[in-house]
Amino acid sequence: MPDVGRFFNIDPLSEKYAYQSHYNFSENNVTSHRELEGLEAVSADNFNKNQSTLVVLGLGRADGRSGDSVGSGTNTLYSNLPKNLHTDGALASLQNSLGSNIAVAAYTGTDSGLASTHMVGTIANYRSVNPDGNIIMIGHSLRGKDILNAANATTENINLVLTMEPVSVNAGGGTAYGSDPYSASLGGNVQNIISLSADKNMFTGGGGSKTVSGQNSIKATMTGTSQVNIDDSMTPYLKPLIQRTGQGVNPVKWFQNVNWNNFTFQPNVRTGNEEKKGTGTR
């Protein structure tokens, strides 16, 4: 209760951190840390003014086809999940390959869509440090849905929303069917929209669509890909797309000018278990 400066609940992750008291806040470093999402301490200088771009990544389901292993948990940050829940390795690799001037926040999470709420909070935190920075949101499969919802839930300007076969699974979990693509109309705070479908398409019609004049939007089908590997295949192209967008290049025009005749799908470019990839489908 911030009005009286008191806490009336223990940290929901306290059992995972035995070296901490159940009642510690920010690991007893309240002047140098903040608690992102109300969970683990994240350094207050997590973002800095030199980071001219924030990339918010939405990865596949935490345990892929095996189900939603986060369940009723409240942590959706990819880096805070145990390694056995690290799927979508190729897309996740962008965290370490974009340069020090680009901040990356990668999310996986529950079928409930909690990650979208966390994304909105991260965007607000970044904007508080760098009000003029670029924000790029990229999502695949279930987290593509969260990317779209987060883009609609924030009022901050978003330079680019790119989704790859976003799909809806209800909060009770279960399997995604071909009739479950997820689409959303994006407000004028989103400047550019790229919606990608796989060649062996299961989720036709998903992605973002523009609502006001001035927005740039494109839909494309990526040759040779499936719902499982479209993110792997696109990852080599996403790095220059992110970097060019951060430099002021229009991402939709950049996408239109790429020579896709040389595009090849990548079936096995991941770290992690292929059987846990993405979303269980039928």
Mark whether 189 and 235 lie in a shared domain.
Answer: yes
Same domain, 186 and 203: yes
208 and 151 in contact (C-beta within 8 Å)?
yes
Helices (H), the chain: 89-92, 114-129, 141-153, 230-246, 251-257
2: in domain: no
5-14, 31-40, 120-129, 197-206: the lowest-pLDDT one: 31-40
Strands 207-210 and 190-200: unpaired
251-257 contact pairs (CB < 8 A, 24+): 251/136, 251/159, 251/160, 251/162, 251/192, 251/194, 251/216, 252/192, 252/193, 252/194, 252/216, 252/217, 252/218, 253/216, 255/194, 255/218, 255/220, 256/218
Pair of tokens at residue 98: 């974009």
In a domain, 5, yes or no: no
Does 277 fall in a domain? no
- For residue 3, the model assigns a pLDDT of 62
Average pLDDT over residues 191-207: 83
Domain match, 35 and 101 both = no
Same domain, 19 and 67: no
Q: Does residue 185 lie within any of the structural domains?
A: yes
**Phi, psi values for residue 210, rounded to 5°:** -80, 155
Residue 57 and residue 92 in one domain? yes
Say if pTM beats, i.e. exceeds, 0.75.
yes
| Chain centroid to CA 242 | 14
Q: Are residues 114 and 145 in the same domain?
A: yes
Q: Are 25 and 105 within one domain?
A: no
Residue 282 domain-assigned (yes or no): no
Which of 134, 153, 139, 135 is closest to 109 using CA atoms? 139
In this prediction, residue 5 carries a pLDDT of 64
Q: List pLDDT tens digits, range 20-44.
A: 666 665 556 554 444 544 553 334 4
For 225, the 3-state DSSP assignment is strand
1 burial level (CB within 10 Å; 0-12, 13-18, 19+):
exposed
Residues 105 and 152 in one domain: yes
Residue 105 lies in a domain: yes
Q: How far, in Å, CA of 280 to CA of 226, rounded?
A: 13
Percent of the chain with pLDDT over 90: 29
- Is residue 93 included in any domain, yes or no? yes
Select the more confidently predicted residue: 250 or 64.
250
Whether the pLDDT of residue 88 is over 80: the answer is: no
23 and 112 together in one domain: no
**29, 61: one domain:** no
If asked whether residues 78 and 211 sit together in one domain, one would say yes
Instruction: Supply the range of the domain harboring residue 110.
Output: 51-272
* Interatomic CA distance for residues 28 and 37, integer angstroms: 17
- Confidence at residue 9, expressed as pLDDT on a 0 to 100 scale: 65
Asked whether residue 21 falls in the same domain as residue 126, the answer is no
Which CATH number do you get for residue 233? 3.40.50
Tens digit of pLDDT for each residue in 244-277? 999 999 999 999 999 888 776 665 544 444 444 4
Structurally, the chain folds into a number of domains equal to 2
Q: Looking at residue 255, what is its pLDDT?
A: 94
Q: CA-based diameter of the chain, in Å?
A: 62
The answer to the question of residue 211 being in a domain is yes
Beta bridge partners of 255: none
Which tops the pLDDT comparison, 41 or 188? Answer: 188
